[in-house]
Amino acid sequence: MPGFGITMGITLTYLSLVVLVPLAALFLKTTTMTWSSFWHTVSDARVLAAFRLSLGASLVGGVINTVFGVILAWVLVRYRFPGRKLIDALVDLPFALPTAVAGIALTSLYASNGWIGRILEPLGVKVAFTWLGVVVALTFIGLPFVVRTVQPVLEDLDREVEEASASLGASRAQTVLRVILPEIGPAALTGFALAFARALGEYGSVIFIAGNMPMRTEIVPLLVVIKLEQFDYAGAAAIAVAMLVVSFVLLLFINVLQWWSARRRAFA
Amino acid sequence: MSETATIFTLPASRDPARAVGEGAVVRVLLIGAALGFVGLFLFIPLAAVFSQALAKGWSVYWTSLREPDALSAIRLTLLAAGIAVPCNLVFGVAAAWAIAKFNFRGKSILITLVDLPFAVSPVISGLVYVLLFGLQGWFGPWLSEHNIRIIFAVPGIVLATIFVTFPFVARELIPLMQAQGNEEEQAALSLGASGWKTFFRVTLPNIKWGLFYGVILCNARAMGEFGAVSVVSGHIRGLTNTMPLHVEILYNEYNFAAAFAVASILTMLALVTLGLKTLVEWKSRRQFAELSRDRREGGES
């Protein structure tokens, strides 16, 4: 086969120029700080509050998406009803819709005079400009992940196993809990981790609905932007590196999870 | 499945379809929960975009799309996508060829590195270029001496767009070309075709749907990117505002009708992307089915 030299050359050059060198510059920037000033920046109360909100809201959004994602995948694979294909195609909307558009649309819905905010406000629930708004935005952008990881597993799931379980006297609930859920568990967990990782770095859809009040509704990516606007490049780089470390740990977790579920399936 | 199933599910009183299905109530509840979730998070926000865009009537809608700042935002978005997509297309094809057609050490590391931009927050994707080319950045002093502007100018926007859309084409093509193998290309080469001819006549027809799929996703993200572009843009009206940034400015000025008018264009772009994506998935599934049928029949004869 010809072309290894040229394609590999293009790949490595382009990858280095566009991705690797710029990312290396980020890590290099933090080496201009002393360890204590790095730590001081990252452990600042405002930064810690932002990490708490980002991690907490991403976690809640991820859990909501895991529960409804599994239900949605199940309904799309197993049942036939009008509009099924339309819904199947629309599940990817959060991937295709620009995040700023999602942000302003959700804010206008959940603001106190919005379609949904108007209903929730009298009940004493405020969503826009509170941490709940952050959860709503992060749920929106993470919606496709669990559906799209669980769907193929459900399609491949052998019905005979369920029939065997039923013919051995298991109730439907037992079959679902003991046979089906363990099969889709690793895929759902992978989807959760992907949604969580995406939510952690998300910016555009959140900043409109969050209200961005210091110590209360600021997400971590916003703090990077604020530091940049103050021309505190090193501070921005330090927070960015802290975020990257968290994402890479998550990525590692996802890879281990996929390796583990592949091995499980191979031995099954 | 049917033969073994009928043998082992002997008692006729137990309908196997019922035994592996849910009762009508559970079924309705599950479909209801799914529809409620999708309605709340997908349909209502979509409806909100269009209803807000037209809240002040069609004439306001058209004026907000035709005012000079909106037009220059549309132009800049088209320019950024027009540069980023072809660059990542060429890279994606080259990377997929090198990774799928050859064996070398460190292949899985290379695949991980190609996917890296997806693991990075959009804000960080912009930040890395500010650290390189900004005034206080590594190349900042040199660039300002030579009067070259990258950050808070169009080149920075293009670079940030390239970064966030970097993996789309490659990650679509790599598994596809790995699955297709090298046989057809080797046949063409042994018949005397040149490398380029083999690529255009043999490989390209085989990967065209995957390529198209990668390109439309890449394009949607390129036109819709907000965070990365926002960091490098400087928000100079009429000069460095892309459509999503223009939406933000209008919204923050409480000019909601105009903000949603521009947003509705981006929403239609997203809907067209989803439509094309569904079409390509359907086409490539059919192509795959035909391919495996041909293989099977070819194997039998």
Q: Do B274 and A93 touch (CB under 8 A)?
A: yes
Do the Cβ atoms of B138 and B132 come closer than 8 Å? yes
Q: Do B102 and A221 touch (CB under 8 A)?
A: no
Q: Terminal CA-to-CA distance of chain A, rounded, Å?
A: 38
Per residue in A138-147, pLDDT (tens digit) is 999 999 999 9
Say yes or no to pLDDT of A154 above 50: yes
Q: How far apart are CA A244 and CA B31, in angstroms?
A: 38
Nearest CA of chain A to the CA of B185: how many Å? 8
Q: How far apart are CA A172 and CA A178, in angstroms?
A: 10
Please name the residue that has the structure tokens 């199947």. Answer: A88
Closest of B214, B154, B102, B79 to residue A11, by C-alpha? B102
Q: How far apart are CA B91 and CA B110, in angstroms?
A: 13
CB neighbours of residue A46 within 10 Å: 12
Taking residues A4-24, what's their average pLDDT?
A: 94
Question: How many CB contacts within 8 angstroms connect chain A with chain B?
Answer: 282
Say yes or no to pLDDT of B4 above 70: no
**Higher-pLDDT residue of B23, B7:** B23
Give the model's pLDDT for residue B239.
Answer: 81
Q: How far apart are CA A104 and CA A133, in angstroms?
A: 12
Sort out which chain A residues have CB atoms less than 8 A from B9's CB and list them: 163, 166-167
Nearest to B44 among A102, A109, A175 (CB): A109
Q: Where are the alpha helices (DSSP H) in A113-171?
A: 117-120, 131-156, 159-167
* Cα dihedral across residues A126, B45, A114, B258: positive or negative: positive
Residue B58 burial (10 A CB sphere; 0-12, 13-18, 19+): exposed
Angle in degrees, CA B65, A87, A210, rounded to 5: 55
Say yes or no to pLDDT of B98 above 80: yes
Residue B184 burial (10 A CB sphere; 0-12, 13-18, 19+): middle
Closest of A232, A230, A205, A206 to residue A218, by C-alpha? A206
Give the model's pLDDT for residue B180.
Answer: 87
Q: Do B131 and A29 touch (CB under 8 A)?
A: yes
**Higher-pLDDT residue of B115, A259:** B115
Q: Which residue of B has its CA nearest to A135?
A: B41
Q: How far apart are CA A168 and CA B131, in angstroms?
A: 64
Closest of B176, B170, B268, B168 to residue B219, by C-alpha? B168
φ and ψ of A234, to 5 deg: -65, -40
Structure tokens at A160: 């005979």
Per residue in B251-295, pLDDT (tens digit) is 999 999 999 999 999 999 999 999 999 999 888 877 777 766 766
Sort out which chain A residues have CB atoms less than 8 A from B22's CB and list them: 172
Q: Do A71 and B37 touch (CB under 8 A)?
A: yes
Consecutive H or E run containing B276: helix B256-300
Please name the residue that has the structure tokens 């905010």. Answer: A117
Say yes or no to pLDDT of A248 above 90: no
**Banded pLDDT at B12 (limits 50, 70, 90):** very low
Nearest to A163 among B16, B38, B186 (CB): B16
Q: How far apart are CA A172 and CA A195, in angstroms?
A: 30
Nearest to A237 among B131, B244, B256 (CB): B131
Nearest to A244 among B120, B129, B132 (CB): B120
Q: How far apart are CA B125 and CA B130, in angstroms?
A: 9
CA atoms within 13 A on the CB side of B265: 23
For residues B275-286, one letter each, b for 16 or more C-beta atoms within 10 angstroms of the residue's C-beta and e for the rest, the string is ebbbebeeebee
Q: Do A158 and B1 touch (CB under 8 A)?
A: yes
Q: How far apart are CA B79 and CA B97, in angstroms?
A: 28
Give the model's pLDDT for residue A253.
Answer: 82
Q: Where are the alpha helices (DSSP H) in B181-241?
A: 183-190, 195-198, 204-224, 227-233
Say yes or no to pLDDT of B243 above 60: yes
Say yes or no to pLDDT of B16 above 50: no
Taking residues A155-176, what's their average pLDDT?
A: 84
Q: Which residue of A has its CA nearest to B2?
A: A160
Q: Which residue of A has its CA nearest to B279?
A: A89
Do the Cβ atoms of B87 and B291 come closer than 8 Å? no
Sort out which chain B residues have CB atoms less than 8 A from A160's CB and list them: 1, 4-5
Q: Do A172 and B23 touch (CB under 8 A)?
A: yes
Say yes or no to pLDDT of A226 above 90: yes
Give the model's pLDDT for residue B255.
Answer: 92
Sort out which chain A residues have CB atoms less than 8 A from B171's CB and list them: none
Q: How far apart are CA A251 and CA A55, in angstroms?
A: 15
- What ipTM was reported for this prediction? 0.90
Best B44, B226, B252 residue to mutate vs chain A (most A CBs within 10 Å): B226
Strand, coil or helix: B94: helix
**Higher-pLDDT residue of A117, A268:** A117
**What does the DSSP 8-state code read for residue B39?**
I
Taking residues A236-256, what's their average pLDDT?
A: 88
Taking residues B130-154, what's their average pLDDT?
A: 89
Give the model's pLDDT for residue A179.
Answer: 84
Nearest CA of chain A to the CA of B10: how many Å? 9
Say yes or no to pLDDT of B18 above 70: no
Best B127, B203, B233, B273 residue to mutate vs chain A (most A CBs within 10 Å): B127
Sort out which chain B residues have CB atoms less than 8 A from A218's CB and list them: none
Q: Do A75 and B42 touch (CB under 8 A)?
A: no
Structure tokens at B206: 């085989």
pTM of the predicted model as reported, rounded to 2 decimal places: 0.89
Residue % of chain A over a pLDDT of 90: 64
Give the model's pLDDT for residue A265.
Answer: 66
Do the Cβ atoms of A186 and A152 come closer than 8 Å? no
Give the model's pLDDT for residue A164.
Answer: 85
Per residue in A56-112, pLDDT (tens digit) is 999 999 999 999 999 999 999 989 888 899 999 999 999 999 999 999 999 999 998
Long-range interactions of A108-112: CB distance < 8 A, separation 24+: A108/B48, A108/B52, A108/B256, A108/B260, A109/B44, A109/B45, A109/B48, A110/A136, A110/A209
Sort out which chain B residues have CB atoms less than 8 A from A89's CB and list them: 274-275, 277-278
